[in-house]
């Protein structure tokens, strides 16, 4: 059962991967907050945060939202001092002392109690010579900003923190090859930032005939009344896609007890919904050369749009979930490449309604695309004034995406790993 949307009127949810030195995703940072002033711990902000935390832990399941990986939670001061109770036990998350939280006696006392209870703690935005040095004996992770600080300041922070053998250092806001290289050189343990989740080389989204064919398959699957003959014909024209669809019928998730002798039988066996998911993953992975996390972000936005189409917060979008899914996917691809939507959809047989929604945000579909794009903005600190249903839909989209991505874990290369290994070499 989906959680009530009444409890999600202002809170925002963000997620960002954290990598180890081998380039593997070992953790996620989840951010739950009402707006840009969350560090002030206003009562309404604390209650909004608590409500989303309860939903994430009890109704959706944290493991499903993070894929079973370590979870860093950026919570308000009231949770750290015990003013507002934490709705989970010590084994489920790392609690972060946010940037901007004042270091005072109540905070130190609260963190001491949490540490004694077994909670794992982290400091965000640590700087040398600041008041947060008194927290180092209490925490297990220290996050150092690689974008705002100069190299001398970063080196001083690392030298200080290395005096505490129990600390793990996390380089955050990595946005250039140079900052990533410096963090690797200085021996940081973990890495977080856009450089690991976005391409930093010039590229193009020119469509080869094969990629265009797959986009046509996806467009056909997004139609209100799917023409099975057309889908079979389009899949059959792409040898690589045909082989993948046929292999997909052998996946344990389908539980098939018979063989198939044609693309048609394979499509019927796995169903149009599942076929749409597989074609989407194959297409976007091929089209964007995206790694696991980049592809996951695109699918979260697509699924979020699909779920919002069924929400009463977007009247007029009823029955347009599949079109919203495709629109969310295409808008995410455009953002991934920093290209205009016209470049992405050129040559695609899209319905005028969807094309207008993508280009100008027109109509109910346009409203959904605008809201989803704002909510999944790379900066989770932004307050977008989102409608109530979007938090519940976002959490559901995360859970759905993690389930899909686990099925293709061996199919998608991790380019963050390649970049880190290149630095190490």
Residues 265 and 311 in one domain: yes
**Last residue of one domain, picked from the residues 171, 196, 221:** 196
Q: What is the per-residue pLDDT across 380-396, written as a single tens digit (0 to 9) for each?
A: 444 444 456 788 888 88
Residues 277 and 299 in one domain: yes
Residue 282 lies in a domain: yes
Identify the CATH number of the domain in which residue 275 sits. 1.10.3210
Q: How many domains is the chain built from?
A: 2
Residues 164 and 32 in one domain: yes
Residues 182 and 213 in one domain: no
Domain that holds residue 153: 5-196
For the chain, which ranges sit under pLDDT 50?
Answer: 1-10, 35-44, 198-209, 251-256, 288, 380-386, 410-413
Residue 201 lies in a domain: no
Note the pLDDT of residue 276: 75
Integer Cα distance of 344 and 132 in angstroms? 47
Residues 184 and 221 in one domain: no
Residues 181 and 276 in one domain: no
Residues 160 and 285 in one domain: no
Question: What predicted TM-score, i.e. pTM, was given to this entire model?
Answer: 0.65
Residues 158 and 226 in one domain: no
Judging by beta carbons within 10 Å of its beta carbon (0-12, 13-18, 19+), is residue 136 exposed, middle or buried?
Answer: middle
DSSP 332-373: HHHHHHT--HHHHHTT----HHHHHHHHH--HHHHHHHHHHH
Residues 216 and 351 in one domain: yes
Note the pLDDT of residue 6: 38
Note the pLDDT of residue 385: 47
Residue 82 lies in a domain: yes
Residues 59 and 36 in one domain: yes
Identify the CATH number of the domain in which residue 18 sits. 3.20.20.450
Q: What is the per-residue pLDDT across 121-144, written as a single tens digit (0 to 9) for each?
A: 999 989 888 889 999 999 999 999
Residue 117 lies in a domain: yes
Judging by beta carbons within 10 Å of its beta carbon (0-12, 13-18, 19+), is residue 402 exposed, middle or buried?
Answer: buried
Pick from 177, 235, 179, 231: which is nearest to 419 by CA? Answer: 177
Residue 391 lies in a domain: yes
Note the pLDDT of residue 120: 95
Structure tokens at 223: 């139609």
Note the pLDDT of residue 123: 94
**Last residue of one domain, picked from the residues 167, 196, 225:** 196
């Amino acid at each position: 059962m989906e959680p009530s949307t009444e409890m999600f009127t202002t809170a925002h949810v963000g997620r960002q991967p954290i990598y180890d030195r081998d380039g593997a995703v070992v953790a996620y940072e989840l951010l739950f907050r009402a707006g840009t002033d969350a560090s002030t711990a206003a009562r309404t902000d604390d209650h909004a945060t608590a409500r989303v935390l309860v939903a994430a832990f009890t109704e959706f399941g944290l493991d499903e939202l993070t894929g079973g990986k370590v979870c860093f939670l950026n919570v308000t001061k009231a949770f750290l001092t015990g003013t507002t109770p934490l709705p989970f036990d010590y084994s489920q998350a790392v609690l972060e002392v946010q940037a901007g939280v004042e270091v005072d006696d109540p905070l130190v006392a609260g963190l001491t109690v949490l540490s004694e209870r077994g909670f794992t703690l982290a400091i965000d935005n640590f700087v040398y010579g600041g008041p947060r040095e008194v927290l180092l004996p209490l925490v297990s992770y220290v996050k150092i900003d690689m974008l705002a600080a100069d190299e001398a300041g970063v080196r001083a922070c690392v030298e200080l923190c290395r005096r505490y053998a129990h600390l793990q250092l996390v380089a955050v806001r990595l946005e250039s090859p140079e900052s990533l290289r410096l963090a690797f050189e200085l021996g940081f343990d973990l890495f977080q930032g856009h450089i690991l989740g976005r391409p930093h080389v010039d590229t193009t989204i020119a469509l080869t005939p094969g990629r265009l064919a797959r986009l046509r398959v996806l467009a056909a699957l997004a139609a209100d009344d799917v023409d099975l003959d057309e889908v079979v014909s389009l899949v059959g024209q792409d040898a690589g896609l045909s082989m993948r669809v046929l292999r997909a019928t052998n996946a344990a998730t389908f539980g098939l007890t018979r063989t198939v002798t044609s693309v048609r039988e394979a499509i019927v066996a796995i169903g149009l919904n599942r076929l749409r998911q597989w074609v989407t993953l194959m297409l976007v992975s091929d089209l964007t050369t995206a790694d696991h996390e980049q592809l996951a972000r695109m699918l979260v936005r697509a699924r979020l749009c699909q779920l919002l189409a069924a929400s009463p917060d977007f009247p007029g979008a009823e029955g347009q979930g599949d079109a919203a899914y495709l629109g969310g996917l295409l808008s995410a691809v455009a953002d991934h490449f920093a290209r205009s939507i016209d470049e992405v959809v050129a040559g695609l047989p899209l319905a005028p309604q969807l094309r207008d929604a993508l280009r100008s945000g027109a109509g109910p579909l346009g409203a959904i695309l605008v809201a989803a794009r704002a909510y999944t903005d790379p900066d989770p600190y932004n307050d977008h004034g989102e409608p109530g249903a979007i938090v519940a839909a976002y959490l559901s989209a995360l859970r759905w995406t993690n389930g899909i991505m686990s099925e293709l874990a061996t199919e998608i290369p991790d380019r963050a790993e390649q970049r880190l290994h290149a630095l190490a070499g």
